[in-house]
Amino acid sequence: MSDLVISGYKDKEEIDSPCISHVYNMDCLEFMKQLPDNYFDLAISDPPYGGGNDDGAYNRFGELFNKYKPKKDDGKKEKAINYSQGGIFAKYNDPAKKDVEDKLGRIEWDVAPKAEFFDELFRVSKNQVIWGGNYFPLPPTRCFLIWKKHVPENFSMAMCEYAWTSFAKNAKVFELPSTGIPFRFHPTQKPEALYAWVYKLLANKGDKLFDPMMGSQSSRVAAYKMGFDYYGCELCDDYFKQGVEKFDRECLGEVKAADGKVIKQMSLFD
């Protein structure tokens, strides 16, 4: 059983056997604020990079590199980036921007998190893996991870993804096509095999894992199948619901029928 008492979620699922798997439909910042320091052994995060920021690509890198920006014709610098003010949190909490939430509870989520997110993430976890770490002002690291996706060079998407990690180990590369992910419903859904590879490399038996922005819950499914205790958050109601259904189907053998009834799949030996 978990020793955590969490408030402020819209929905949740708490599985306690054979390992802890607790997930909450809520803002991860509100979740982390309720936790003691170093509660998790490993945080695996895949934050939005910021394609949905009002300021476009310029908002992705925080204020760190503003001084290098080209000046406009009128001699003024490009619009300054306000990293500390930006992020989904600001948008979501701003009543004037509530219209970004649609009927499914989908929000405009591709907005880079503000600095407070990283402060809290580093406070509540002993080690961190941050996918898309190249978009954020993180310290230098020896141990970065590359996911090589086997997409052709002339394809419109990136051939690989980068994860920043807090470990002092060798950098590693994992090769797995990004196509053909089963039960795909999330626009940036990562394969469970990728998370399983990360856990095998960087997690130890008995570790408590945390994904603050689970999306499709691939990180959760991999953790459960490998026997790790796991906690996760997802802000979007619809992704949360579909993620829970994916987990229930993949890990508990449960399928929801059209009338909402849960059908338990029988194993060959039942």
Ligand X SMILES: C[S@@+](CC[C@H](N)C(=O)[O-])C[C@H]1O[C@@H](n2cnc3c(N)ncnc32)[C@H](O)[C@@H]1O
Query: CA–CA distance from 179 to each of 74, 190, 257 (Å)?
Result: 46, 10, 27
Q: Per CB under 6 A, does 233 bind ligand X?
A: yes
Using rule CB under 6 A, residue 190 touches ligand X: yes
User: Applying CB under 6 A, does 192 fall inside the site for ligand X?
Assistant: no
- Select the residue interacting with ligand X from 32, 40, 41, 46 (CB under 6 A): 46
User: Which residues ranging from 10 to 29 are in contact with ligand X (CB under 6 A)?
Assistant: 27-29
At 263, is the secondary structure helix, strand, or coil?
strand
Minimum distance of ligand X from residue 159's CB (angstroms): 18
- For residue 266, the Cα-to-chain-centroid distance in whole angstroms is 32
Applying CB under 6 A, which part among 13-21, 196-204, 228-236, 253-261 lies near ligand X? 228-236
x/- string (CB under 6 A) for ligand X, residues 91-130?
A: ------------------x---------------------
* Site membership for ligand X, residue 210 (CB under 6 A): no
**What gap in Å lies between CA 258 and CA 205, rounded to an integer?**
39
| Residue 71 beta carbon to ligand X: minimum distance, rounded to whole angstroms | 33
Is the Cβ–Cβ distance between 27 and 92 less than 8 Å? yes
Q: Which two tokens stand for residue 86?
A: 């930006």
- Quick one: tokens of 183? 């039960």
**C-alpha to C-alpha distance for 202 and 224, rounded to whole angstroms:** 16
Q: How far is the CB of 188 from ligand X (least distance, A)?
A: 4
Q: CA–CA separation, 209 vs 219, rounded Å?
A: 9
Is the Cβ–Cβ distance between 59 and 78 less than 8 Å? no
Point out which residues pair with 175 in neighbouring strands.
148
Q: Is 235 in the site for ligand X (CB under 6 A)?
A: yes
| Region near ligand X per CB under 6 A, out of 13-21, 62-70, 154-162, 183-191 | 183-191
Residue ranges binding ligand X (CB under 6 A): 27-29, 46, 48, 88-89, 109, 186, 188-190, 212-213, 215-216, 218, 233-236, 239
